[in-house]
Structure formats: C-alpha cells, structure tokens
Amino acid sequence: MHDHAPFDTATKPAGLHPLIARLTTDLGWPRLANLSDAAEFTARPGAHCLFIPGDPARNLETADAAVILPELRMAFQRAFDCAVVDDAIEAALRETHRALKTPGFLFFREGRYLGAVEKIRDWDDYIARITHILGLAAADRST
C-alpha cells in the first residue's frame, strides 16, 4: 500500500525539529535569527523567555524542552512570552549570558537578563527556579 498524499513541507520551517517548528507555526512564537531581533524582543515591556534549543540531533533533551516550555508558560499564567532562538545566534547568546548548556530557557525583563534554566529539570525545579527568576524581575520593578 502506498501513501500518495503529498508531503507537507510548507507548514514547518525547513531544518527545524518538528516539536521546535510547532512553537513557531502552531503557537506563533517568533524565531529570532539575529541579535538585533533578540534585543528588540527582550526589550519589550514584561518578562520574556528565549528558548535556546541546541542541536536536537545531538541532544535528545531538546525535543523535551520544546514540549515543556509551553506547559511552563501556561503554569505561570502567561507571565512571560517566548521566542525560539535560531542557530545563527545561539552561540553568541549563550556566551554573552554564560548559559552554556542546552537546551536553555533565558529570562529577561525589559532588556535586562535575569537568569537561565539550563538542561532538563524536574517539574518542581522548573517551578522554583522560574518563580525565583520572575521574583527578581518583580522586585526590581518595585524599587
């Protein structure tokens, strides 16, 4: 039996793991391909998370992180928005913010780097770390 349905490549950005592509196509998260786009995205009002996926072919945790981050965003009642970092600027962002392990979630508030959660963690660890990071952001706004 043959499947004669055409393969649909138009819905997913070329070269992206399907679970990472889902973040941009289905959830509408921007894919940041240059440092000026990243700076503009993180400078907006509110809290922001940059998802640095790493190489999904070499790091099996990348696909897990692509599933976990939307769930974390919902758990935090959309307290932060998200974007996917493109391969072209991934290394520069990791080095600049000393978040060298992937996958990584880098948090910002109005252009200021707050902290990162690197590698796959237990759910409770994510909740504690992100609560702490977002708490830092809230404390800075009240001073």
pLDDT digits (tens, 9 = 90+) for 74-112: 999 999 999 999 999 999 999 999 999 999 999 999 999
Query: What is the structure's pLDDT at 7?
Result: 42
pTM of the full structure: 0.85
Q: How far apart (Å, rounded) are the C-alpha atoms in residues 101 and 117?
A: 9
> Would the pLDDT of 1 be above 50?
no
Residue 16: band (very low, low, confident or very high) from pLDDT cuts 50, 70, 90? confident
> Would the pLDDT of 12 be above 50?
no
Helix then strand count (H, E) for the chain reads 5, 5
- At 106, is the secondary structure helix, strand, or coil? strand
Q: Which helix (H) or strand (E) holds 80?
A: strand 80-85
Query: What is the structure's pLDDT at 136?
Result: 83
What is the largest distance, in Å, between two alpha-carbon atoms of the chain?
67
In sequence order, which residues have a C-beta less than 8 Å from that of residue 92 and are 6 or more positions away?
A: 35
Q: In the chain, what are the domains?
A: 18-142 (3.40.30.10)
Share of the chain above pLDDT 90, in %: 83
Q: How far apart (Å, rounded) are the C-alpha atoms in residues 23 and 36?
A: 21
